[in-house]
Amino acid sequence: MKKERTLSIIKPDSIKKNIIGKIYKIIKKNGLKIIKSKIIKLKKFEAKIFYNVHKKKFFYNKLIKFISSSKIIVQILEGKNAIKKYREIMGNTNPKKAIKNTIRNKYGKSILFNCVHGSDNIINSIIEIIFFFNL
């Protein structure tokens, strides 16, 4: 149970729904601390670089169009087992399969419009944090 950091993205659908405060409340309630945060708008080429891991998946082009369509909030979360904890409170990528009261269960619409992103392991966490914050 070591203290670690993870990247969190609040996606355009969450901003449009004005649920940022609700997401922050869930994050803080679960013992994670937001240590850095900024609002940005990704260019398509930046989105392609960031989501390159999904390049061969059926939803890739829609994801790039969506994530670069409007502003997002990128943030660094910190806490005990932050990566695992944040993935638990986000819920399954598919909101219909997500556990009740997770962010995606409560606010997500589909696999594409699922409100938030979080790093899936320590290596990707480091890469993603550097990508957005140049630490």
87 annotated as belonging to a binding site for a ligand:
yes
Whether 54 is catalytic is no
Considering only the C-alpha atoms of the chain, give the largest distance between any 2 of them, rounded to a whole number of Å. Answer: 37
Q: Give the 3-state DSSP-derived string for 54-94, with helices as H, strands as E and coil as C.
A: HCCCCCHHHHHHHHCCCCEEEEEEEEECHHHHHHHHHCCCC
Helix (H) or strand (E) holding 116: strand 116-118
133 annotated as belonging to a binding site for a ligand:
no
59 annotated as belonging to a binding site for a ligand:
yes
5 annotated as belonging to a binding site for a ligand:
no
Spatial separation of the C-alpha atoms in residues 69 and 5, rounded to whole Å: 27
Indicate the DSSP class of residue 42. Answer: -
132 annotated as belonging to a binding site for a ligand:
no
Spatial separation of the C-alpha atoms in residues 77 and 68, rounded to whole Å: 22
Among 117, 119, 128, 132, the active-site one is 117
Residues at the binding site for ATP are 11, 59, 87, 93, 104, 114
Could you list the active site residues? 117
